[in-house]
Chains A and B, each alone.
Chain A
Amino acid sequence: MNNPDFWAMGGYAFYVWTSYGITFAVLLWNLISPVLQRKNLLRRLTVKQKRETS
């Protein structure tokens, strides 16, 4: 993997690596955003429940 030829992609480095970068950025975003939103929602619901019970 330290081979510079590998990163050069036969002169197509920009196209190949941009493609992979955008792909994994979108995939990660679609995975992480619901998890974060759920954590947020759970926190809000917990606070609400505590206020109601106390």
Chain B
Amino acid sequence: MAFFPASWTRFFHQTASPPYFYALASKLSPWLGGICLALLAAGLYGGLYLAPPDYQQGDSYRIIYVHVPAAWMSLFVYVLMAVMGGIALIWRMKLAEVMLISSAPIGAGFTFIALVTGSLWGKPMWGAWWVWDARLTSELILLFLYLGVISLYGAIEDKRNAARAVSILALVGVVNIPIIHYSVEWWNTLHQGPTVTKLDKPSIHISMLTPLLLMALAFKFYYALAVLQNAKLELLRRESGAQWVKNLLGAKT
């Protein structure tokens, strides 16, 4: 901790204390929700209405506006989980544990979305619901990694132990993700027949790119909002006997 100035350390400790964090999350949520909705509206309007159809893929390419941000977020959330896991293991910070496990279902959701929309995009492009394309395959493996984290956390009864286990698993996973990704990519180039057209990003024009970036940003804000809701629930579950929860209940009635 000596790496940081004392004021930083104080800031972290204060923010990381459950009652303060719970109140902060409640205060932030409407703002995050508002920004997310505005970005979504702009991104959807731009992507579904303003952007012209792709000259090769027609209107089917518009799936890109949910598929690609979801795929980005699925990786981003896993990396974030590993960072939280590192913090939780080194500094034994409870809040990092809570954030890690709160991220898992949301990350799994993004991965699921990327898979399903990829498949829905693939049907008109490839003529098949599922093709062992490199990106879809590594996304599928990522979904298994997420499910592993979720089920391991659920299986260990002592939740502090469970959080340590999940932190270790997330760190092991994040080291392996690039290896898995490149091996799958390499396997794919080896086995792919020449007739299969790849889900290439359409030649991207600025009117197509702007909505994509807006949607990616909207998904980021959505993640922040959703992870805070999960974290509030998890904090309440873990600390249901603590004084601050009693005060909270007293204030409500």
Contact = CB atoms under 8 A, between A and B. Distances in A.
A touches B (Cβ under 8 A):
yes
Interface of A: 1, 6, 9-12, 15-16, 18-20, 22-23, 26-27, 29-31, 34-35, 37-38, 41-42, 45-46, 49-50
Contacts of B120: 15, 18-19, 22
Nearest to B108: A30
Contacts of A27: 109, 113, 222, 226
B123 A15 contact: yes
Contact of B70 (A23, A29, A42, A49): A23
Interface stretch (B12-20, B58-66, B138-146, B190-198): B58-66
Contact of A49 (B62, B225, B246): B246
Nearest to A32: B229
Nearest to A18: B120
Interface string B41-77: 0000000110001000011101100110010000000
Interface stretch (B161-169, B203-211, B232-240): B232-240
21 contacts: A1-B49, A11-B59, A12-B59, A12-B62, A15-B63, A15-B123, A16-B63, A19-B67, A19-B116, A22-B113, A22-B116, A26-B113, A27-B109, A27-B222, A31-B229, A34-B230, A34-B232, A37-B233, A46-B253, A49-B246, A49-B249
A10 B124 CA distance: 12
